Chain A
């Protein structure tokens, strides 16, 4: 029954005796029991119930534009684009095109606006690309944030350094992962900004040691009480107890030997990478409403570029290996913003 790549289809074995034990070994019992999803038909009318048995796989040769968000198409795996003649929205047009790295890689199966007059196509395209006022306000706000960030001398040197290194690598024909270049460039300079924004103390040396159980407990309690969104941007208006809690919190999120890295990472981190880095930001996966709302709060609180979210896998690895709560990891990200690590793709 199991066919190798070079085998014909003729040899067959008993599924019950040969294959079922294999399935049972890897798949939990709950997963191999077929189940039926009943739909409660609320709409009246003629209907027919169908039971379908199929292998839960799709051919992935065709994907939707939603699937391609956060992806970068590779040159050796071309993607054909088909916009069809309906449901044009700004994202529908922008997303598939901006996943390419060159215009030479854009291949349309049919013209945009096929089957309609040019005037109608222009009218629909113009309407589709016209953003809503709220979106314009948001993007203007972020553009102002980016301008403020780039004009700051403290960040300008770091950004220029990373871009220069990146350009140098590109000239040499190597396109490194952004994370690698950022890590190499910021490995030393990041220590200079490790001062706690609350108590203004350096976190080098003994300060970077792991938290004591008391600190961890206190910080966790304070995290639950205050919530990540209430992390203040400076030490004004804080009493001594809150300052101590913050100091413990920020010490806790800095694991010994950890490096602060913010990067534009498309792939989930491996375990080794996640263990050596403090955290990694991903700008393409802000789809969860809960995290989006937190980031919206951050946008108001911090004057820097904040289109960031941790990858789920990275969060899981960090949580498993270091025992951090989700709030802690988010707080680490917020704290990085606070101390001035530029969080934007380089």
Chain B
């Protein structure tokens, strides 16, 4: 059988050969129950021990999951770890949500906001409830504004500067992190691949960077969550 991407594996090393054999078993369509058992054992032999986790966290790892629902919380944890490894201050905030009833806007109750915090971004127009910033933070774009320079959905970029809200209170530099009262108006990010040069002709925006400004979307929560949110919203 064909084994796509198997040529990338370095079979010259013991680890590469072990992975090569595992991939061959994964692609073997005539496998026996004993082979499945072996696959399970081989994969589970790579479960990280606490010492492994400590070692890997020093390398600022990323993670692959199968579901979107666990992305945000794990991302926040790994981002905090990355900021700690870089020795920079971690800044985080929550996005601004308001309820819409006809033409009127109303403030959401804390209970409703907590319910919305647990929502997958695929149900909130691809915008996460929480975001963080520190110089060197890894981001991926949630919109496709300019695909020709890599500003497209899931395109990678790196945080450079934060554009704070004008009403943001002064920073308490004594804390190791900062929680913003107001959502920042934008983040200046450095693109991964595209070299756009000094497009802005301004020294405050470095070469190869673009500012990403906040946007507004509207979505509806339905079913039980909608009922809970509506109830919570009406109580506030």
Which residues of A pack against B, CB within 8 Å? 1-5, 8-10, 12, 14-15, 19, 22-23, 25-27, 31-32, 34-39, 41, 43, 45-65, 67-68, 72, 76-84, 86-88, 90, 92-94, 96-113, 118, 121-122, 125-126, 129, 131, 136, 139-140, 142-143, 146, 170, 264, 267-268, 283-284, 307, 316, 345-346
Q: Which of B1, B89, B193 contacts A139 (CB 8 A)?
A: B1
Other than the given A50-B97, A54-B217, A125-B39, 14 more pairs (CB < 8 A) read A2-B188, A9-B178, A26-B210, A41-B220, A47-B221, A51-B98, A53-B96, A58-B75, A59-B72, A64-B66, A80-B56, A146-B2, A170-B10, A345-B8
Which residue of chain B has the shortest Cβ distance to A70 in the bound complex? B5
**Chain A residues whose CB sits within 8 angstroms of the CB of B61 once the complex forms:** 77-80, 107
Q: Are B76 and A59 in contact, CB atoms less than 8 angstroms apart?
A: yes
Which residue of chain B has the shortest Cβ distance to A5 in the bound complex? B135
Shortest CB distance A28–B (Å): 8
12 A-B pairs in the complex with CB atoms less than 8 angstroms apart: A2-B204, A26-B210, A27-B211, A34-B214, A58-B142, A62-B65, A86-B66, A97-B19, A100-B19, A102-B9, A122-B37, A142-B2
Q: Which of A39, A53, A78, A129 contacts B36 (CB 8 A)?
A: A129
The majority secondary structure among interface residues of chain B is mixed
Q: Are A15 and B227 in contact, CB atoms less than 8 angstroms apart?
A: no
Q: Are B2 and A57 in contact, CB atoms less than 8 angstroms apart?
A: no
Instruction: Report the separation of the CA atoms of residues A108 and B205 in the bound assembly, to the nearest whole angstrom.
Output: 39
Per-position 1/0 for B1-44, Cβ under 8 A of A: 11011111110110110110011001101010100110110011
Instruction: Report the separation of the CA atoms of residues A78 and B85 in the bound assembly, to the nearest whole angstrom.
Output: 15
Shortest CB distance B202–A (Å): 6
Q: Which of B154, B163, B226 contacts A67 (CB 8 A)?
A: B154
**Chain A residues whose CB sits within 8 angstroms of the CB of B74 once the complex forms:** 61-62, 82
Per-position 1/0 for B112-138, Cβ under 8 A of A: 100010000100111111011001111
Supposing A56-B141, A56-B142, A81-B63 touch, asked if A97 and B23 sit within 8 A by C-beta, the answer is yes
**Chain B residues whose CB sits within 8 angstroms of the CB of A103 once the complex forms:** 15-16, 18-19, 22, 46
Q: Which of B7, B31, B79, B213 contacts A129 (CB 8 A)?
A: B31
Q: Are A64 and B1 in contact, CB atoms less than 8 angstroms apart?
A: no
Interface residue count for B (Cβ, 8 Å)?
Answer: 135
Q: Which of A23, A45, A90 contacts B223 (CB 8 A)?
A: A45
Supposing A9-B178, A125-B40, A126-B33 touch, asked if A50 and B99 sit within 8 A by C-beta, the answer is yes
**Chain A residues whose CB sits within 8 angstroms of the CB of B33 once the complex forms:** 122, 126
**Chain A residues whose CB sits within 8 angstroms of the CB of B71 once the complex forms:** 58, 62-64
Which residues of B pack against A, CB within 8 Å? 1-2, 4-10, 12-13, 15-16, 18-19, 22-23, 26-27, 29, 31, 33, 36-37, 39-40, 43-44, 46-48, 52, 56, 59-68, 70-72, 74-76, 78-79, 82, 88-89, 91, 95-101, 105, 108, 112, 116, 121, 124-129, 131-132, 135-143, 145-146, 148, 154, 156-157, 160-166, 168, 170-171, 173, 178, 183-189, 193, 199-202, 204-205, 210-223, 226-227, 229-230, 233
Q: Are B95 and A52 in contact, CB atoms less than 8 angstroms apart?
A: yes
Q: Which of B43, B91, B137, B211 contacts A22 (CB 8 A)?
A: B211
**Chain A residues whose CB sits within 8 angstroms of the CB of B78 once the complex forms:** 59, 61-62
Q: Are A122 and B218 in contact, CB atoms less than 8 angstroms apart?
A: no
**Chain A residues whose CB sits within 8 angstroms of the CB of B127 once the complex forms:** 52, 54, 56
**Chain B residues whose CB sits within 8 angstroms of the CB of A264 once the complex forms:** 7
Supposing A36-B218, A50-B218, A108-B48 touch, asked if A3 and B162 sit within 8 A by C-beta, the answer is yes
Q: Are B66 and A113 in contact, CB atoms less than 8 angstroms apart?
A: no
Which residue of chain A has the shortest Cβ distance to B162 in the bound complex? A3
**Chain B residues whose CB sits within 8 angstroms of the CB of A48 once the complex forms:** 99, 112, 220-221, 226, 229-230, 233
Shortest CB distance B128–A (Å): 6
Q: Are B137 and A25 in contact, CB atoms less than 8 angstroms apart?
A: no
Instruction: Report the separation of the CA atoms of residues A199 and B107 in the bound assembly, to the nearest whole angstrom.
Output: 74
Instruction: Report the separation of the CA atoms of residues A80 and B64 in the bound assembly, to the nearest whole angstrom.
Output: 6
**Chain B residues whose CB sits within 8 angstroms of the CB of A57 once the complex forms:** 131, 139-142, 157, 187, 189, 212
The 9 closest A-B pairs by CB, nearest first: A54-B95, A102-B15, A9-B171, A61-B78, A104-B15, A59-B75, A60-B140, A46-B227, A103-B18
Q: Are B47 and A110 in contact, CB atoms less than 8 angstroms apart?
A: yes
Shortest CB distance A212–B (Å): 31
Instruction: Report the separation of the CA atoms of residues A99 and B75 in the bound assembly, to the nearest whole angstrom.
Output: 20
